[in-house]
Amino acid sequence: MRAGADSAITRNGKSIILAYDHGLEHGPTDFDPVPETADPEVLWDLATHSAVTAFAVQKGVAEAYYPSYEDDVSLLAKLNGTSNLWMGEPDSAVNWTVENAADLGADAIGFTLYGGSNHEVEMQEEFRDVQEAARDEDLGVVMWSYPRGQGLKNDKKPGTIAYAARLALELGADIAKVKYPGSEESMRRAVRAAGPAGVVMSGGSKTSDRDFLETVESAMDAGAQGLAVGRNVFQREDPEGILDALEQVIFEEATADEALET
Ligand code: FBP
């Protein structure tokens, strides 16, 4: 699967990946703004929204709920992850095997790579095993490509984000999930660096409707394939409303203004 080729986690070559691995990565504090979002079922229901092309979760949340949602939700199995309690150099434990995720019915796998970390070499080797197993199982491969660690403080510099996008291509991912580098021009550079791999923008911490939709519009204008988003959807009182607007901007090429008007 490469960008443009439609798959179980894209629609017309575009993606909105709803991410819900925050209970592991950040802890339940991310659910405080809308306390009912601590209940995974609330998010599984949200993932049935027509805008969502894949739902990214860790193994436990998938095992407990996916059998009830398999007809309505495409599962993106997030294979590695680390808690916010870990204080060491950026690293991510591989908590789920490709084979087990495939047995459960996953459509694609997700894997975090911290380029620049002291653990980059091991993480690349883990990714090699995962990527090859995913090819054997015919699963799409999404890399959460987050340069981080040692001297890398600002992980959103344009050159760093372009490098992150390129790492995903070089190592065999279909889609690179990268942070927004601050401008359309910088995002275009990342998209160019990714070549045939698609690039999805990472949602980030919650911002206003206008700021968020304008950033998404700019990423799409730069050639991004879509968005992978958690907090900017589930920390809103009206998550369906923002998914409606995102559907317009990403799949119907509406501007942020147009999406805000409806
Ligand atoms: P958000 O849209 O909420 O930023 O979620 C995307 C995501 O990649 C999640 O999958 C993950 O839990 C989180 O961001 C990790 O963010 P960070 O490592 O930057 O704190």
Instruction: Report ipTM (2 d.p.).
Output: 0.93
Task: Choose the residue to mutate in 76, 202, 211, 236 for probing ligand 1, maximizing ligand atoms within 8 Å of C-beta.
Answer: 202
Q: Choosing from 14, 59, 78, 177, which is the catalytic residue?
A: 177
Q: Which residue has a Cα nearest atom 15 of ligand 1? A: 25
147 ligand 1 Cβ < 6 A: no
As given in the structure block, the two tokens for residue 112 are 């975090």
Q: Which CATH number fits domain 15-261: 3.30.950.10, 3.40.50.261, 1.10.3720.10, 3.20.20.70?
A: 3.20.20.70
157 is catalytic: no
**Local confidence band at 152 (pLDDT 50, 70, 90 cut-offs):** confident
As given in the structure block, the two tokens for residue 188 are 């275009």
Q: Which residue has the higher pLDDT, 152 or 110?
A: 110
pLDDT in tens, 231-252: 999 999 999 999 999 999 999 9
3-class SS at 109? strand
Is residue 4's pLDDT more than 90? Answer: no
* CA 17/CA 136 separation, integer angstroms: 23
Looking up tokens 């510099």 gives: 157
What's the gap between Cα 29 and its chain centre?
20
Distance 230 CA to ligand 1 centre (A): 7
Ligand 1, atom nearest to 19 Cα = 10
Distance 27 CA to ligand 1 centre (A): 11
Ligand 1, atom nearest to 204 Cα = 4
What mean pLDDT do residues 21-37 have?
A: 98
Q: What is the DSSP string of 52-71?
A: -SEEEE-HHHHHHHHHHHTT
pLDDT in tens, 166-190: 999 999 999 999 999 999 999 999 9
The β-bridge partners of 18 are: 55, 229
Is residue 55's pLDDT more than 50? Answer: yes
Is residue 206's pLDDT more than 90? Answer: yes
As given in the structure block, the two tokens for residue 237 are 């009182």
What mean pLDDT do residues 156-163 have?
A: 96
Which of 139, 148, 248 is CA-nearest to residue 202? Answer: 148
Cβ-contact 181, 157 below 8 angstroms: yes
* CA 55/CA 46 separation, integer angstroms: 9
| Average pLDDT score over the chain | 96
As given in the structure block, the two tokens for residue 197 are 């791999």
What mean pLDDT do residues 197-220 have?
A: 98
Q: For the chain, what are the domain ranges?
A: 15-261
**Local confidence band at 155 (pLDDT 50, 70, 90 cut-offs):** confident
pLDDT in tens, 59-106: 999 999 999 999 999 999 999 999 999 999 999 999 999 999 999 999
Ligand 1, atom nearest to 20 Cα = 10
What are the phi and psi torsion angles at 200 (to 5°)?
A: -115, 140
What mean pLDDT do residues 47-56 have?
A: 98
What are the phi and psi torsion angles at 78 (to 5°)?
A: -85, 110
